[in-house]
Amino acid sequence: MEFPKFILGDNTDHPDAIYVIHTEFPRFIINLEDDEVEWLEDFDQHDEKELLSETENLIEQASRFYDREVSRYED
């Protein structure tokens, strides 16, 4: 099964949280309420260095994805 790069998620136990799930490497879930990121990968030292440089870009992409999805609901 092929998943989209980003998926929106919510949970009634956390009514203020909005989650964006990134399904490609490096997989993560970001809570847009507080920008907390939970990585779903195990990283070695080499990966961590690359990850640090890419993290800001991935979070920006996740935020743009959310904005795009919300704008589609509003139309």
For residue range 44-63, what is the model confidence (pLDDT) as tens digits? 877 777 777 788 899 999 99
Instruction: Indicate whether 75 pLDDT > 70.
Output: no
Residue 20 lies in a domain: yes
19: containing domain: 6-74
Counted domains in the chain? 1
Residue 33: name the closest of 58, 4, 10, 1 by CA: 10
Residue 36 lies in a domain: yes
Residue 1 lies in a domain: no
Residue 13 lies in a domain: yes
Task: Kindly compute the dihedral angle of the four CA atoms of residues 33, 7, 9, 27, in this order, to the nearest 10 degrees.
Answer: -70
Residue 48 lies in a domain: yes
